[in-house]
Chains A and B, each alone.
Chain A
Amino acid sequence: MEYSGVLVVGEQRGGSVHSVTYELLARGRTLADKLGVSLACVVIGHRLEAFGREIVERGADVVYLVDDSSLEWFIPRRHSAELAALIGQIRPEIVLAAATTAGRTLMPHVAARLGAGLTADCTGLDIDDEERLLLQTRPAIGGNVMATIKTPSARPQMATVRPKSARPLPRDPGRHGEIVVRAAACDDAQSAGERLLEFVRDTSQDVSVQDAEIVVAGGKGLKSRDNFKLVEELAGLLGAAVGATRDVVDLGWVGYPHQIGLSGKTVSPRLYVAIGLSGTIQHLAGMQTSETVVAINKDKDAQIFRVADYGIVGDLFDVVPELIEKIKTAKNARLAGAR
């Protein structure tokens, strides 16, 4: 049987479908339509019955819910056996998963089982019209350049995709799709000794910079931890999350959960304000899909201006305080107007 179709690996967390699943469906839909093939989605876990409908409405033609109590928590060997079994059965030409801690573990495991090609952390996916091959684009070599990778003959072509690098499709209640609920296909004897003892929810470190509508990010140009407070003050004023470059995190001014870029998080907010950061490709890879980008930098040739909608060339230590004052004034005027 020929390999045909696109398979998206969904994720569930805390009893619901994780939104990254819908981002993958949007990516998968585009690829499947270009190829003229169907789009399937698989979720592996437990108590999944309720998930199928929305996955169809977000773009899937077929949904496989592999539902078993032994699959409730992510055990790589066990989940990998199930995914490999499904791939063996439906033989998709393309398999996409999210570049999350689970996806980045599961996909290499499955690729090794199948001898398939796998590309990590893709930010762009497309189809080569002539050869009908998946073109996988990712930042490479320390984030200095982008590389496009393809898998000429091994199948399936597999990729993990950065969360928040695409927008989900809106729900379409009129969409039709098939929902297949099935039990675990594989014997778990071999991984019987592996189990989750405890999951401790700890979001104290998490600033959910990925879910923020507005992100204000700072770079080395702030010069010190103390000055970085300017970024935090502006963020507070705009109800924004604080982002930072890798340099700033390495210097210890803010924690790793704030890091935006190739080795940190990818964000796609409505507004991204970049302050005192030059815009390495590694950083741009994490924010270039933002809707509106504002940049403040003293170097007019800084790369960040190339992805900015509005840029101010100037000393941030003059510009940012002035901006903070003017925003306060504007807010006060609005409040006064409301009264």
Chain B
Amino acid sequence: MNLLVLLKQVPGTSNVKMDEKTGTMVRTDHENVINPLDENALAAALELKRSIDGSKVTVLSMGPPPASRALREAIAMGADEAHLLCHRGFAGSDTLATARALALAIEHVAGRRLGPNDLVLCGERATDGETGQVGPMISAMLDIAVATYVRGIEVKQDHVVVERVVEEGFERVRMPLPALVTVVKDINQPGFPTLPGKLAAKAAPVPLLTPDDLGLTRDTAGLTGSPTRVVQVFRPKFARDTVLRRQDSGGAAVGSLVDLLIEKEVI
């Protein structure tokens, strides 16, 4: 089975810088990690690889040169092959432009349209953008089946049965292959790099893909290929007339709170 995993490198801390002019994130090399849910997707792919003979796990990412570290980490954990979409022309991509590039890259790397032996996996969302849009967008562009919020995958002869977590319970859904799944945290516990994996990661090539390689132009890649624009970034202002009291030994602050609760008819 051909397992393609999409990884995003995200800031390990919440201290992210922003480009004031474009309102997009400035990615630096500091403390970046693999997006946690993408690690779950990778772990799910590796588990399928172990249970299905002749399987191969390919990881793909889009990002600046340091993102190759995330891909090497994936190889250390057991992935077979990695590719990085890396070029100035991709900078400033919104979710649609990102999905377009990754969808093309998936077929580019596979060397063909996806078929009944192919499954694409990624995290349900990334911790930085938190949109969860790229997965379903890619499935639409590749015109393959999709299931989101997946916490279990069973591979059958020519289809998969997945378990999806929804608001009021869960669904078991049958989908033909090829398909794309976006996974949630409950699906597994990601493993750790192995020693042979670490050695393989050091030696592995991480070929770079450019917009040119994928047939993308200025109109279809990066900021100029993105339909949305960030027009303003701000710290929200809140408008409430706050009554702030210090806790006091007489209990007046708490007493007034109880009066408020009575006035609001909650007690």
Contact = CB atoms under 8 A, between A and B. Distances in A.
A146 B236 contact: yes
Interface string B249-260: 001011111101
Contacts of B199: none
A197 B132 CA distance: 25
B141 interface: yes
Contact of B23 (A80, A147, A152, A199): A147
Contacts of A193: 145, 159, 174-176
A195 B159 CA distance: 11
B127 A142 contact: yes
A127 interface: no
Contacts of B16: 141-142, 144
A214 interface: yes
B227 A310 contact: no
Contact of A112 (B99, B174, B262): B99
Query: Interface size for chain B: under 10, 10 to 19, 20 to 34, or 35 or more residues?
Result: 35 or more
Does more than half of chain B's interface fall in helix, strand or loop, or is it mixed? Answer: mixed
B238 A117 contact: no
Nearest to B140: A112
A150 B229 contact: yes
B240 A306 contact: yes
Contact of A119 (B99, B175, B228, B266): B228
Interface string A237-250: 01000000000000
A305 interface: yes
Given A306-B242, A326-B255, A118 B96 contact: yes
A84 to B, nearest CB: 9
Interface in B163-183: 164-176
B203 interface: no
B243 interface: yes
A251 interface: no
Nearest to A119: B228
A317 to B, nearest CB: 11
A304 B173 CA distance: 42
B232 interface: yes
B112 interface: no
A109 interface: yes
Interface stretch (A41-49, A170-178, A288-296): A288-296
B127 to A, nearest CB: 7
A132 interface: no
29 contacts: A14-B168, A76-B139, A101-B149, A101-B165, A104-B136, A105-B148, A108-B132, A108-B133, A108-B136, A108-B140, A109-B136, A111-B133, A116-B227, A140-B230, A141-B25, A143-B14, A146-B233, A148-B231, A193-B176, A197-B174, A238-B266, A271-B261, A284-B236, A306-B238, A308-B244, A312-B245, A312-B247, A327-B261, A330-B261
Interface of B: 11, 14, 16, 18, 23, 25, 94-96, 99, 127-141, 143, 145-149, 159, 161, 164-176, 226-236, 238, 240-247, 251, 253-258, 260-262, 264, 266-267
Given A120-B133, A292-B264, A326-B254, 13 more contacts: A75-B173, A101-B148, A104-B136, A105-B136, A112-B141, A141-B18, A150-B228, A194-B175, A271-B261, A271-B266, A294-B260, A315-B247, A327-B258
